Amino acid sequence: QKEVEQNSGPLSVPEGAIASLNCTYSDRGSQSFFWYRQYSGKSPELIMSIYSNGDKEDGRFTAQLNKASQYVSLLIRDSQPSDSATYLCAVKHKAAGNKLTFGGGTRVLVKP
């Protein structure tokens, strides 16, 4: 069983709509959660970090964390074609030091 799981997609979203991405993790000791965006051929770029249950909003992005259910999600409002990328969920566990465990990523396609 993978430690961090994401639907690989592609998730096709009309321009202006909301893209909803989900990520589940297996280790209950996980403490820190991150969403990265990766364009093709480029390195990941940090979008959001979330550490406590609930919602965290930053511009058009909202991260949601539910530790009891072991999932973290990312909402992208008013999706733009420039949001087309692969979104990586990453989890950090206290016992693992500073190492991040990445999910396989969800590819998002925003169609004009």
In Å, how far from its chain's centre is CA 62?
10
Question: Could you say whether residue 105 binds other proteins (CB under 8 A)?
Answer: yes
Which one of 77, 94, 99, 111 is in contact with other proteins (CB under 8 A)? Answer: 99
Among 54, 49, 48, CA closest to 67 = 54
Q: Which residue has the tokens 């909803």?
A: 20
Which one of 63, 88, 91, 108 is in contact with other proteins (CB under 8 A)? Answer: 88
Question: Could you say whether residue 77 binds other proteins (CB under 8 A)?
Answer: no
Question: Could you say whether residue 9 binds other proteins (CB under 8 A)?
Answer: no
- Output the six-digit token pair for 51: 């550490």
17/104 with CB nearer other proteins:
104
61/102 with CB nearer other proteins:
102
For 96, residues 6+ apart whose C-beta sits below 8 A from its C-beta are none
Question: Could you say whether residue 46 binds other proteins (CB under 8 A)?
Answer: yes
Q: To the nearest 5 percent, what fractions of the chain are helix, strand and coil? A: 5, 55, 40
Residues making contact with other proteins (CB under 8 A): 32, 34, 36, 41-46, 49, 51, 88, 97-100, 102-105
